[in-house]
Homo-oligomer: A and B are copies of this chain.
Amino acid sequence: MAHLLSASCPLIISPCSKNGPSSLKPSLASLPTSRTSIQPFKSLSINRKNGQRQFSVRATTLQQPGTKAGSGSDERSRQQSRPTRVMVVGGDGYCGWATSLHLSKKGYDVAIVDNLVRRQFDDQLGLDSLTPIASIHDRIRRWRSLTEKDIDLYIGDVCDFEFLSEAFTSFKPDAVVHFGEQRSAPFSMIDRSRAVFTQQNNVLGTLNVLFAIKEYAEDCHLVKLGTMGEYGTPNIDIEEGYITITHNGRTDTLPYPKQAGSFYHLSKVHDSNNIEFTCKAWGIRATNLNQGVVYGVRTAETEMHDELYNRFDYDGVFGTALNRFCVQAAIGHPLTVYGKGGQFEEQFSVNQLASLVTKAGDKLGIQVQTKSVPNPRVEEEEHYYNAKHTKLIELGLEPHLLSDSLIDSVLNVAVQFKDRVDTRQIMPSVSWTKIGAKPKTVSA
């Protein structure tokens, strides 16, 4: 049985994620969601030589360790005694590291697959995480010493299929959580080579993951991060993955139209289209999660030791508005709001975020100011935005809403590490229109 779940869901890495919703562990619970939903892929009947094969949809997610999700075949019954094996591609990154620790804590066998290119981006652009982060080797060693749990490590590039094949045949994953993509819109808009890199890395890497699943682990469930940015800002409600259209007297449920606003967002649209095709043609089992901006820095696991700290990006390339605002508040820099401040992240406007940070600053005795800066992106300053998010909640997810306590937590981290702030990193430095074909080099 093949299925593609497409979910809309802004994620929050909350200050405390101990009590995630049980029905969605572990694929989503490590990243508690504030608003979530899943739109099942419409059923499609496809002829095979031996008759009709019906692809239908089951809203399964990964089960608890030792109780693998699946069809209950003999093969699976025999394997039920071992923990479910989850490969986290991009497990050294922001979402990947928190997810890997959470899954390991829950008793899953976890392997991290990562080429560490995210660290190289920082080196090349002269950026750094606000929080000091240990090497992936030290991170994993520290986790083992604290918990006696091993996390397997495969250092390499999923665009290299020989490497990926080795990782698959050696680790034998039951599920793959794929965070292994270049995930910054501004990075993709720096210059031609980074635009091309973003689409090459993301699209071809995901193609390789799909082929690896087909070749080596056909029942493996793929959990893939997309982005709400795939949808752009249509003037109608955003449905979860699919929309039912009645047109000239006929009706069909079709993929929701996409209008991505950067080469990065486009790479995610390309991924979604490729994944959907392989679900239809090969029966790949995939959950495509179109999340919004991910917030927060501490989880129950990363809090356990300095060497388990997650990264915290506040720069103009990888940082998000909330992080940037908290860092600006911590060092007494005015909050920099683009244009009219009406851009939307999740379903908050940037002005609303700025106001929340100002309020949180008041509590810490910090007086926070706001100033306007030019919008580097090509986007409409004001527009309708209403994204549906009900299906994951129907599955039992308890959303963690963006709360004052989360903002307090982020602001506290910013204050704790304010001596590490590099003010040159804060301002947006990438223009959507000035991007050129020539490589943009960075000088000190």
The answer to the question of A443 belonging to the interface, with a C-beta cut-off of 8 Å to chain B, is no
A436 to B212, CA, bound (A): 9
Q: Are A273 and B277 within 8 A (Cβ)? A: no
Closest to A207 in B: B196
Among A7-15, A242-250, A295-303, A399-407, the one that faces the other chain is A242-250
A41 to B153, CA, bound (A): 48
The answer to the question of A366 belonging to the interface, with a C-beta cut-off of 8 Å to chain B, is no
CB-defined interface of A93-136 with B at 8 Å, one 1/0 digit per residue?
00000000000000000000000000000000000000000000
The answer to the question of A261 belonging to the interface, with a C-beta cut-off of 8 Å to chain B, is yes
The answer to the question of A437 belonging to the interface, with a C-beta cut-off of 8 Å to chain B, is yes
A208 to B211, CA, bound (A): 26
Q: Are B243 and A245 within 8 A (Cβ)? A: yes
The answer to the question of A165 belonging to the interface, with a C-beta cut-off of 8 Å to chain B, is yes
Interface centre among A245, A246, A260, A261 (most CB of B within 10 A): A245
Q: Are B437 and A212 within 8 A (Cβ)? A: yes
The answer to the question of A214 belonging to the interface, with a C-beta cut-off of 8 Å to chain B, is yes
Grouping DSSP codes into helix (H, G, I), strand (E, B) and loop, the A interface class, with mixed when no group exceeds half, is: mixed
In chain A, residues 203-261, which have Cβ atoms closer than 8 Å to a Cβ of chain B? 203-204, 207-208, 211-212, 214-216, 234-237, 239, 243, 245-248, 250-252, 254-261
Q: Are A237 and B250 within 8 A (Cβ)? A: yes
Contact residue range for chain A? 35 or more
Q: Hey, which chain B residues are within 8 Å of A251, CB to CB? A: 235-236
Q: Are A204 and B208 within 8 A (Cβ)? A: no
A259 to B276, CA, bound (A): 9
Q: Are A378 and B252 within 8 A (Cβ)? A: no
A312 to B225, CA, bound (A): 43
Which are the 5 A-B pairs with shortest beta-carbon distances?
A: A215-B437, A235-B252, A254-B257, A236-B247, A281-B378
Name 23 A/B residue pairs within 8 A (Cβ), A-sorted. Answer: A48-B433, A195-B211, A196-B204, A196-B207, A199-B207, A203-B203, A203-B270, A214-B437, A215-B436, A215-B438, A234-B252, A236-B245, A236-B247, A236-B248, A236-B251, A245-B247, A250-B384, A255-B257, A258-B273, A263-B274, A266-B273, A266-B277, A281-B378
Given contacts A46-B378, A266-B274, 10 further A-B contacts (CB under 8 A): A47-B380, A161-B192, A161-B437, A236-B245, A236-B254, A243-B257, A258-B273, A262-B277, A263-B277, A266-B277
